[in-house]
Structure 1
Amino acid sequence: MKLQIQGPTSRYWAALGVLLLLLAWQIAAQRLGSLLMATPWQTLQALVQLLGSEEFHQHGLVTLGRIGLGVGLGCTLGSCLGVLAGLDARLRGLLEPLRWLLMAIPPVVVVVLAMLWFGLGSAMVVFISVLMLAPGMYVNTVKGMLLVDRGLIEMAHVYRLGPWQRLRYLYVPALAAPLTAALLIAACGGVRLVVMAEVLGADSGAGFALANARSTFDSAGLYAWTLLLLLLVAGLEFSLLQPLQRYLSRWQVAAHA
């Protein structure tokens, strides 16, 4: 029996959901007026103009670099600490208060503190992203490590498997599902965090451009930047995260074949 995750029927319903969202957007824009909400067509026209402008290259590439650096460092730090904490209960207990503190503190407070410590710029934005994304990756990694069968761990010790072999054949299959789900959440959350930090206290980037469009009542430009960020998240999910999920979960598909 083959494991089928998504079939043609679900894609048809997803396409219908997109059409319903566009219809609701059009109706809301007509009721609110162009000053408050641009229509989908106006947003698409503004997006085409934006992609060919110097503003896109100036602010868009800056945000893309911050997202890549912040998400990459946050996910790497959280997953590495999670693996170590999953192997050592003492380290797990030592990191638990810090994990709770970072997950409980509001992001706005972190933004304010980062602005005081680093000023405006990329360092502040990347610091916020790493600090907010690492705990989620840490928690999911630790849970995946603790779900590994104790009997398999004892068997690995009996056969004297090295650390790399245990990580590859024992822990990676157990971490595949929680880590890919955490990566998806981190990518989406990373985009939101970076843009929020740029809106509140950066002098460049997509969030800075969004704040400028809001202050000048450029509704079409505001929604064009928003649509561009949504397309970025979609591109990350479908071109990077879903292929990675299929690669890491290939043993599960083989087991159900």
Structure 2
Amino acid sequence: MSKPKIKYNFWVSPITPWLLPVVLLLAWHVLTVTGIIPANKLPQPLQVVKELIISVKSGVLLDNIAISARRALLGFLIGGGIGFVLGLINGFSSKAEILMDSSVQMIRNVPHLALIPLVIMWFGIGEEVKLLLVSLGVFFPIYLNTFHGIRSIDRGLIEMAKVYGLKGLDLYKEVILPGALPSILVGIRYSLGIMWLTLIVAETVAADSGIGYMAMNAREFMQLDITVLSIIIYALLGKLSDSIAKGLERWLLQWNPNYSVAKK
């Protein structure tokens, strides 16, 4: 009896997502080695790898990564937590929406990065500046998506749940949160990108440590390899946080057929 042939699916292969980065890396190598892109514009990949090894051995890189990651996480928890709670309250209560939503929308239309000069005058270049800016950056996507997720729930489901005796925390836990969760997770993924973007700007303007500071300090001494390394690290951290969010999405939304992973 012959064994059934396993059909290879290119689009579900774990190798597929890495093809484009590998192509870009090869193009970078060829363009810099051949001199099409001069060394004073972009260093060769091997130079960046060499600097990576030196920075890891000295401990400077790992220290700066830890500092930036701590700032990003704390800012995300503070801003995201407040945005989540306000989104729940305003989404479920029309009176709370009337009271608070207009003020939130006015603040949302002020670019949070434009506040950098003001917060530097308030707090100097201490940790408060980075935490405040990151918190503001992540607050609005999570708030808006939580609010939208709550308002998108079928009101008939809520009324039915109340008929069956669900109320208070049980109503939130069993009906409202599961219904709003897809929208909330979209807000989390979007806010993670804003989180790193905000932190990059904050650390290059008002910091004496972190990956952004490392990049700015390298720029002053024309150390392009360190600057490029810093940018790559930011990109990898952003990709890591997005992958974690996607994994969380698949885990929390296993019940939703639109988010389940089909095995073919």
State TM-score, norm by structure 1: 0.89
Q: Which residue of 1 aligns with 2:111?
A: 106
**Where in structure 2 are the equivalents of 1:155-174 lying within 5 Å?**
155-174=160-179
Residue 154 of structure 1 aligns to a residue whose secondary structure is helix
| 1:211 positional shift | 0.5
Match of 2:11 among 9, 20, 23: 9
Cα 1:27–1:92, aligned 2, differ >3 Å: closer, same or farther?
Answer: farther
Q: Which 10-residue stretch deviates more, 47-56 or 185-194? A: 47-56
- The letter for the 2-side match of 1:19 is V
Distance 2:241 2:72 in 1: 11
Q: Which residue of 1 aligns with 2:252?
A: 248
- Contact 2:65/2:210, CA 8 A, preserved across alignment: yes
**Where in structure 2 are the equivalents of 1:96-175 lying within 5 Å?**
96-175=101-180
Greater radius of gyration (CA): 2
| 1:249 positional shift | 0.8
| 1:52 positional shift | 2.1
- Contact 1:102/1:132, CA 8 A, preserved across alignment: no
Distance 2:187 2:31 in 1: 33
**Where in structure 2 are the equivalents of 1:200-211 lying within 5 Å?**
200-211=205-216
- Where do 5+ consecutive residues of structure 2 fail to align? 1-8
Q: Which 10-residue stretch deviates more, 215-224 or 168-177? A: 168-177
State the identity %: 24
- Contact 2:112/2:136, CA 8 A, preserved across alignment: no
Cα 1:111–1:168, aligned 2, differ >3 Å: closer, same or farther?
Answer: same
Match of 1:38 among 31, 39, 43: 43
| 1:151 positional shift | 0.6
State TM-score, norm by structure 2: 0.86
Q: Which 10-residue stretch deviates more, 146-155 or 240-249? A: 240-249
Distance 1:215 1:93 in 2: 50
Q: Deviations over 1:58-82 (max 9, x none)?
A: 4222111101100111111111110
Q: Which 10-residue stretch deviates more, 104-113 or 188-197? A: 104-113
Q: Which residue of 1 aligns with 2:218?
A: 213
Is 1:191 the counterpart of 2:196? The answer is yes
Distance 1:28 1:134 in 2: 41
Aligned positions, number: 250
Q: Which residue of 2 aligns with 1:3?
A: none
Distance 2:22 2:258 in 1: 36
Distance 2:259 2:63 in 1: 48
| 1:86 positional shift | 0.6
Q: Which 10-residue stretch deviates more, 63-72 or 37-46? A: 37-46
Residue 209 of structure 2 aligns to a residue whose secondary structure is coil
Residue 162 of structure 1 aligns to a residue whose secondary structure is coil
- The letter for the 1-side match of 2:11 is T
Is 1:18 the counterpart of 2:4? The answer is no
Q: Deviations over 1:4-40 (max 9, x none)?
A: xxx7515454222222322343355443322221222
Q: Which 10-residue stretch deviates more, 175-184 or 140-149? A: 175-184
Cα 1:254–1:142, aligned 2, differ >3 Å: closer, same or farther?
Answer: closer
- Where do 5+ consecutive residues of structure 1 fail to align? 1-6
Which structure carries more relative contact order (alpha carbon 8 Å, separation 6+)? Answer: 1
- The letter for the 2-side match of 1:248 is L
Distance 1:209 1:53 in 2: 14
Distance 1:116 1:98 in 2: 24
- Contact 1:145/1:175, CA 8 A, preserved across alignment: yes
- Contact 1:46/1:220, CA 8 A, preserved across alignment: yes
Cα 1:53–1:170, aligned 2, differ >3 Å: closer, same or farther?
Answer: same
Distance 1:193 1:119 in 2: 17
